Amino acid sequence: MNIDFSKGDGLVPVVIQDAQTLEVLMLGYMNEEAWKKTEAEKKVTFFSRSKNRLWTKGEESGNFLHVVSSHLDCDQDTILLLVNPAGPTCHTGSRSCFKTDFNQNFLFQLERIIQHRIDFPSDDSYVNRLRGRGINKIAQKVGEEAVETVIAALRETDMDFINESSDLLFHLLVLLKEKGMGLETIAKNLESRHQ
């Protein structure tokens, strides 16, 4: 990447985003040396303005930010890094330095949890037990949850409807994974239809 370090007295802003959930985790700054170290080690290193030195995120806590991909903005003076965080990003112990009411991309995180349960099955995992019954049972479960969602929408409380909708989305995610797909597949399809 041809980064323009000249505009900000040698520093460029770096937006850190979770590669899976797309949640913005933090903002930092890099000089050219920090960028080269980040590229070489595939762990995010910033230039700390308060410490006046290079600072690898996680050097004390172990909560490193492992680089998945890097992107440069149109002016070549801001970097977007998609990362896999190894623990909380914020020094307060929060997953993000930005306080929000909830993780707006939790469905992507749930998808990752389901994939982890598929990759590392255990006897006490509902996902593992459901998958053990085969794709027909998973599809049937999606159908049952869809019917229960419709009934809740028409005859039950809002909380019942929320719970049934949650069950439907969860089981649909399991079915998507069983078919070797994910939310990205559906999102791309919906996006193409929207155009």
How confident is the model over 147-187, as pLDDT tens digits? Answer: 999 999 999 999 999 999 999 999 999 999 999 999 889 98
Both tokens of residue 120?
């590392």
How does DSSP assign 84-143, residue by residue?
EESS--STTS-S-SS--SS-TTHHHHHHHHHHHHHHS--TT-HHHHHHHT-HHHHHHHHH
Does pTM top 0.85 for this prediction? no
Q: What is the pLDDT of residues 105-122, one digit of tens each?
A: 788 889 989 999 999 999
